[in-house]
Amino acid sequence: MEFDIENINKIKDLPIFFIIGSPRSGTTLLRTLFDAHPHISIPLENPFILNFYNEYHLKKDWTKSDLNLLSEKLFETKLKEYWSIEKWKIEKETLARNLLLMEGRHAYSEICKMLIMNFHSIFPKNELLLLGDKVPVYSYFIPKLQSIFPQAKFIHITRDYRDHIRSLQKVNFGSHLTPLAAMRWEKCQRTIEKQKVLHPENFYTIRYEDLVSNPEAQMKNICGFLNIEYLPEMITFYTYKEKMIATYKADGIELYHSSLLQPINNSHIMQWKTKMPEKEIKIADMLVGSTAEKYGYERKYKGSYPLLYFYIVPIYLHFAIQWFLGLFIRLLPHKTKNKIVYRRSIFENVYEKIYLKFRGLKVQEKSNKKP
């Protein structure tokens, strides 16, 4: 997209929304649906807003030196392979040139919006009327996002926690431990619900199961919430299959999101009923508690099973230690802090092997990349 002074003057007033929820819950599908809209810019996952928050959120005056340094940092910051801004398919020189147009007095929110507008989509774009961002980890930092974007709206997508757990066990990110994944799913929903109570008018919740079962009706409702026109090409994004493969094949789209190459269908719902071990269903049902029913997910096992806490207590201790260490980690320099926060803990790697052995479970093969 080519930028000029007219574009810059409109940035401040462009509305923005965020897709939040647990990973592997349909957040990428939802992002793709919006990406297919000609008047919406929503980039591939990259938590740059949060990563640079401490350093820049209070900054008002931006010099050429500031903007050039930010451009360099965006390409240097690779917390995880799949969070590289290089996957936005924009040249470093182009981004730097566009950022320089923001020289002068601008809020951090405007700089962030400019960056979102620089995403190079495979779908044709006309005048941008709405900006979006999809980063599941933002679910835990909604107050920070609201401090930057007071009028932002949030699309909360949730998925049956048992299918969510199964999906995580096939990839090389998130937790492969049923109890830890269940606890994180429950915590994510509770965290979001807490913010929804404070600002109900800015939140819209949708279930993955409803989205894939009736995408047109669901997207019309969401577009109404976002005050933007629903367009049929949103749910026919798969017609760009060849261009999608050509653009993102090297980034692993076929490994993690092959469903984006075909029409939306509900073949991935309720698979836990036949493919998840009963012993794992029981422990997941126990840990998510009544939160499951809030979203219409009926638990198969509603009792309490004291012997299962033998497997859960180490994870509770792990959570407590992480919280305690987090009080100190947040004081570390930006780069050092991010390397620690986004790294899978030694506990998870070790305890996963112990857990699988004592539970008599097989190790699932996991993909090695994520787009």
- Lookup: tokens for 154: 């949030």
> Residue 2's pLDDT is what?
61
> Residue 28's pLDDT is what?
92
Which one-letter amino acid corresponds to residue 207?
Answer: R
- Lookup: tokens for 297: 């997910």
Grade residue 10 by pLDDT with cuts at 50, 70 and 90: confident
| Mean pLDDT value of segment 330-345 | 65
Is 7 within 8 Å of 137 (Cβ atoms)? Answer: no
264 Cβ contact list (under 8 Å, min separation 6): 29, 211, 212, 215, 235, 238
| Mean pLDDT value of segment 30-34 | 96
Distance separating the N- and C-terminal Cα atoms of the chain: 23
> Residue 346's pLDDT is what?
79
Across all residues in the chain, what is the average pLDDT?
87
Interval 131-184: pLDDT, tens: 999 999 999 999 999 999 999 999 999 999 999 999 888 776 777 789 989 999
| Mean pLDDT value of segment 101-110 | 94
> Which DSSP letter does residue 139 get?
G
Grade residue 299 by pLDDT with cuts at 50, 70 and 90: very high
| Mean pLDDT value of segment 250-257 | 57
Pick the more confident residue, 274 or 84: 274
Torsion 326-332-337-339 (CA) sign = negative
Query: Which of 282, 321, 289 lies closest to 305 in space, CA to CA?
Result: 282
Is 145 within 8 Å of 196 (Cβ atoms)? Answer: no
| Mean pLDDT value of segment 106-121 | 94
Helix (H) or strand (E) holding 50: helix 48-51
Pick the more confident residue, 233 or 359: 233
Give the phi and the psi of residue 47 in degrees, each rounded to 5. -80, 45
| Mean pLDDT value of segment 216-221 | 98
Interval 65-80: pLDDT, tens: 999 999 999 888 665 5
> Residue 368's pLDDT is what?
44
Alpha-carbon span 131 to 135, nearest angstrom:
14
DSSP code per residue over 253-319 = HHHH-GGGGS----TTSSTHHHHS-HHHHHHHHHHHTTHHHHTT---S--S--GGGHHHHHHHHHHH
Q: What percentage of the chain carries pLDDT values higher than 90?
A: 58
Pick the more confident residue, 248 or 49: 49
Query: Bridge-partner residues for 19, per DSSP?
Result: 134, 155
Query: Bridge-partner residues for 206, per DSSP?
Result: 157
> Residue 371's pLDDT is what?
36
> Residue 160's pLDDT is what?
97
Query: Which of 286, 276, 298 lies closest to 166 in space, CA to CA?
Result: 276
Grade residue 130 by pLDDT with cuts at 50, 70 and 90: very high
Classify residue 188 as left (phi > 0), alpha (psi -120 to 50) or beta.
alpha
Question: CA 194 from chain center: how many Å?
Answer: 18
Long-range contacts of 107-112 (CB under 8 A, 24+ apart): 107/12, 107/60, 108/53, 108/56, 108/57, 108/58, 108/59, 108/148, 109/12, 109/148, 109/149, 110/11, 110/12, 111/56, 111/62, 111/70, 112/48, 112/49, 112/148
CATH architecture of 5-359: 3-Layer(aba) Sandwich (3.40)
> Residue 353's pLDDT is what?
84
Alpha-carbon span 125 to 36, nearest angstrom:
9
Alpha-carbon span 355 to 371, nearest angstrom:
29
Please identify which residue in the block is written with the tokens 């009792």.
303
Pick the more confident residue, 260 or 197: 197
Pick the more confident residue, 242 or 204: 204
> Residue 244's pLDDT is what?
85
Alpha-carbon span 76 to 46, nearest angstrom:
13
